[in-house]
Amino acid sequence: MIKTVKSVDFKGKRVIMRVDFNVPMKDGVVQDDTRIVAALPTIVYILDQGAKTLTLMSHLGDPSKDAKKAKEKAEKDGKVFDEAAYIRGKHRMAPVAAYLETKLKRPVIFAGEDSCYGKKAFIDSQKDGSVIMLENTRFHKEETAKEPDERDKLAKELASYGDIFVNDAFGTAHRDHASTASIAKFVPVSVAGFLMEKEVSYLEPIVRDPQKPLVAIIGGAKVSSKIAVLESLLKNASALVIGGGMAYTFLKAQGHKTGKSLVEEDQIDTAKKIIDSASRAAVELVLPVDHVAAETFDAASKAIPVDGLDLPDELMGLDVGPKTIAKYKEVLAGAKTIVWNGPVGVFEFDAFAKGTEELAKLVAKATENSVITVVGGGDSVAAVNKFNLASKMSHVSTGGGASLELLEGKKLPGIEVCRG
């Protein structure tokens, strides 16, 4: 069990809260506020409970990594590069604080640019009920340092800003960073926010004790990125649906012709082992039985139906065909729990989106029939949003890497610090 905000008294307390406001930005304007909106219930609850101050902290992008790429490009173009100005211009939290203010409908005080250090006096001087936003935590190398002693330098400073630490940043729960986990060592009380609680309540049971039958749908491009989750879900699943580019590695492992489809040659033996494990565990393995293919990987490519398992040499599979969709319907019909991570086709290209769209509709229909449906992973979340079906699922995870690692059965640092 994790401790949540409901378990503590916030009245008169200073709260330091980790949120995941790593939102897409363009010219200093928030492009997608999903993560900001997701944190509002916890923020409002803490303020309604009479917190003295609520200080929010988040990262925004990866300043050092982005600056390195920008510097290399500038040098290649023969231009002078001001790294500090680049970071200040692109990765500051001030625009996010301003946007949050419009959603919260109350002032959000930005604690100042460039640093998260030395803000205690500023925070403590604010009137009761104030909301404060710190600068980007990743402006400091200590945030992501590998050495605990280095992370602790920033963690201790952040801890001095609150009597209670609230972690509601599920998207970074798998990161052992100063602001997500190390801080808990220096704050008397650490609890999870409502978003974190919801994510854990839906995702952990899938690995530990799901309502069965469980059908797991795993898609995406590469087998190599999904090995651990496939192995984990085999323990409880009655059926394992494998789609997307990774399906062609499995089909080749079975001896089928895959044409120009994406195949990870170095993962064929891994695919064979998973096929064997599924057979021994009596887990039904569902692979595409027909395809929608193309000669090139392009949004403008002509969609060519392939009625059968094998693909001609000149074609690549970019989506599943109608027989495969019918098989999905059959397999999902008996499920009590469905977990979906990764699309089954190149849904970004309209000509190759039908398989993923029809699958999303089937999962949404299952939700109507009281099946627990959980969508996790950036691309599958993007897919259900594209088809306006996110609200039709039991739960759509806000964390790509975090949800994947939780489904792999791993312990996530940002969650573990909230354990009772």
SS3 166: strand
**C-alpha angle 90/95/98, rounded to 5°?**
175
Element at 231 (helix H, strand E): helix 227-233
DSSP state of 341: E
What are residue 316's DSSP bridge partners? 294
Lookup: tokens for 243 = 């789609």
Report the alpha-carbon distance of residue 186 to residue 197 in Å, rounded. Answer: 22
Q: Count Cβ atoms below 10 Å from residue 304 Cβ, excluding itself.
A: 18
Known catalytic residues are: 35, 222, 378, 401
Question: Is the four-CA dihedral 121, 124, 126, 132 of positive or negative sign?
Answer: positive
Neighbour-count burial of 184, counting CB atoms closer than 10 A to its CB (0-12 exposed, 13-18 middle, 19+ buried): buried
Helix 354-368 to helix 322-332 angle (10° resolution) is: 20
Report the alpha-carbon distance of residue 321 to residue 152 in Å, rounded. Answer: 53
User: What b/e sequence results for 338-377 when a residue is b if at least 16 CB atoms lie within 10 Å of its CB, and e otherwise?
Assistant: bbbbbbbbbbebebbbbbbbbbbbbbbbbbeeebbbbbbb
Secondary structure string (H, E, C) spanning 368-401: HCCCEEEECCHHHHHHHHHCCCHHHCCEECCCHH
CA distances from 217 to 160, 226, 267 (A): 44, 11, 19
What are residue 215's DSSP bridge partners? 239, 338
Give residue 239's region: left, alpha or beta (phi > 0; psi -120 to 50). Answer: beta
